[in-house]
Amino acid sequence: MTAPVASIGRPGQKLGLPMCIALGMGNMIGSGVFLLPRDLAPLGWNAIVGWLVSIAGTLCLAVVFARLARRLPEGCAAFTYGAAAFGPGTGFIVAWSYWISCWTVVATLAVAAISNMSILLPWLGEKGAAPAWIAIGCIWFFTLVNLGGVRRAGGAQMLTLALKLIPVVGAVFVGAWALGSGAAPPPTMAGTEPLSLSGVSGAATLTLFALLGFESACVVSDRVADPERTIPRATVIAAAAVGLLYLLSCTTVTLLVPVAALHESNAAYATFFARLVGPGTGQVVALFAAIAALGALNGFVLLQGDIPRDLAHRRLLPAAFARDNRFASPWITQIVSSGLASAIVYANYSRGLADLFAFMVKVTTSTAIILYIVGSLAALLLERRGAIRVSAGFAAATIAGFVYSCWAFYGAGLEASLWSAAMTAAGLPIYLAMRRSAPTRREEAPVA
């Protein structure tokens, strides 16, 4: 018997298919695609193969999560998938680690937005407290948007997605025009690293960050109308659409802009448009890239609020985290999460934007991957129990997704892995304390 979980949504606070797709795509198209060409360009063909590996692995995971969402449509996926297969303790640890990844990515996206705006205002790219405070201001602005309710946050997500697609799709058309008209030299891999396994591995680790977030609709499933149908469709559509856009768009930028020019740029897409269209266009694109980071920030603020809320409803966190305001938004959870994100930005502002972004990418990736690893293992176990319909294709996708997730976790590096392990372990005393305080309460039972 499964203990009931208090309903998280209200009739007027549900997300439909378009908003769920926008949530997934919007959270994926954030800072990564706009900043990665600088790091990927020296890798040459390794970058293209790395994109293919990351996209294939992400699509496998999307299929796995879509099937899990159909079988387990209620509650937050960060908890329910692990709990269904391995018990509530595993579910808590996975949800805790994913919550950490959400507020760390909020900090990362705020920094990325300021990095892109530094094209328009160069002083924002300098080390100092002022850029950090502006980034923190962005975090709290979108926290206020989310405190206005999930529908308002969803509307902001759809608007920012429409705006951020302009430079991503536009780069493909500009690249095709430049090659067809002779406005750009033929693409070349001169001066880049030769194709190698280590080069592909490094590229795939970088590109994974840009693909985080495809599971967003799964995480807020109690906010979704008709979750059994809506979430699987939104998850697969978002992953496939963004993967194709990334492959075409990012590859176009890295092929048509010299490696040296990309290496010196804080905003690769702005540099691309400035060189092929005009300097003024580059500044406009930098603004769109900043909007893209802020749009993804908005989506992850939504996620960071719902995870502790779900755990509090299950009595795995103090009841205060389950309190909603009149717009059905968990206001205490949002304040705590955004406060942590703000503290990370302020504590590390002396690193400079580029160094801070690189550091946060690794930490965010390694913590988010824990959900992917456990989700894949849960799917395999539930298949074996007969709780999920077994097919050869789904089994292969599940195994591929698991292997890819483990490889990506290893690729994040020792420092990031230690940070993610330490922050995840910090949740164990809280879980044990909550169990002791309510020893007779009924837990979320594994699926038979």
Beta bridge partner(s), residue 224: 15
Dihedral pair phi/psi, residue 127, rounded to 5°: -70, 140
* Cα 207 to Cα 36: distance, rounded to the nearest angstrom: 7
pLDDT given at position 435: 85
Which CATH superfamily hosts domain 17-437? Amino acid/polyamine transporter I (1.20.1740.10)
Q: Which of 88, 25, 94 is nearest to 376 (CA)?
A: 94
Highest mean predicted confidence (pLDDT) among 17-26, 205-214, 352-361:
17-26
Please say if the pLDDT value at position 332 is more than 90.
Answer: yes
- Measured CA to CA in angstroms, residue 411 lies from 32, 201, 209, 416 at distances of 17, 7, 12, 10
Q: Which of 119, 73, 86, 91 is nearest to 290 (CA)?
A: 119
Q: Quick one: pLDDT band at residue 358, thresholds 50, 70, 90?
A: low
| Helix, coil or strand: residue 224 | strand
* Cα 279 to Cα 347: distance, rounded to the nearest angstrom: 35
Please say if the pLDDT value at position 184 is more than 80.
Answer: no
Q: Which of 173, 153, 192 is nearest to 13 (CA)?
A: 153
Residue with tokens 């038979």, as numbered in its chain: 448
282: its two tokens: 């580059």
Please say if the pLDDT value at position 359 is more than 80.
Answer: no
* Cα 176 to Cα 390: distance, rounded to the nearest angstrom: 43
pLDDT given at position 357: 61
Q: What is the mean pLDDT of the chain?
A: 83
pLDDT given at position 82: 93
Please say if the pLDDT value at position 439 is more than 70.
Answer: no
Please say if the pLDDT value at position 442 is more than 50.
Answer: no
Q: How many CB atoms lie within 10 A of CB 182?
A: 8
**Which is more confident, 415 or 407?**
407
* Cα 429 to Cα 65: distance, rounded to the nearest angstrom: 29
18: its two tokens: 């378009």
pLDDT given at position 63: 93
**Which is more confident, 172 or 443?**
172
**Which is more confident, 379 or 205?**
379
Please give the average per-residue pLDDT across 355-383, as a whole number.
81
pLDDT tens by residue, 118-174? 777 777 766 667 788 888 999 999 999 999 988 888 888 889 899 889 989 999 999
Exposure letters 78-108 (e unless 16+ CB within 10 A, then b): bbbbbbbbbebbbbbbbbbbbbbbbbbbbbb
pLDDT given at position 1: 35
305: its two tokens: 């609020």
Please say if the pLDDT value at position 295 is more than 50.
Answer: yes
- Measured CA to CA in angstroms, residue 79 lies from 38, 75, 158 at distances of 36, 8, 27
Whole-number percent of the chain with pLDDT over 90: 33
Beta bridge partner(s), residue 15: 224
Please give the average per-residue pLDDT across 10-28, as a whole number.
82
Highest mean predicted confidence (pLDDT) among 119-133, 185-199, 289-303, 425-439:
289-303
Please say if the pLDDT value at position 2 is more than 50.
Answer: no
Q: Which of 11, 63, 31, 102 is nearest to 290 (CA)?
A: 31
Contacts 24+ apart (CB under 8 A), 433-440: 434/315, 434/316, 434/317, 434/318, 438/315
The packing angle between helices 279-313 and 268-276, to 10°, is: 150
Beta bridge partner(s), residue 72: none
pLDDT given at position 178: 87
pLDDT tens by residue, 69-118? 998 888 889 999 999 999 999 999 999 999 998 998 898 888 878 877 77
Query: 325 and 331 in contact (C-beta within 8 Å)?
Result: yes
For residue 351, give every residue at least 6 positions away whose Cβ sits within 8 Å of its Cβ, in sequence order, or none: 127, 359
Query: Where in the chain are the domains?
Result: 17-437
Please give the average per-residue pLDDT across 244-267, as a whole number.
83
pLDDT given at position 75: 84
Whole-number percent of the chain with pLDDT over 70: 88
* Cα 105 to Cα 304: distance, rounded to the nearest angstrom: 10
**Which is more confident, 257 or 4?**
257
Q: Which of 119, 123, 110, 106 is nearest to 291 (CA)?
A: 110
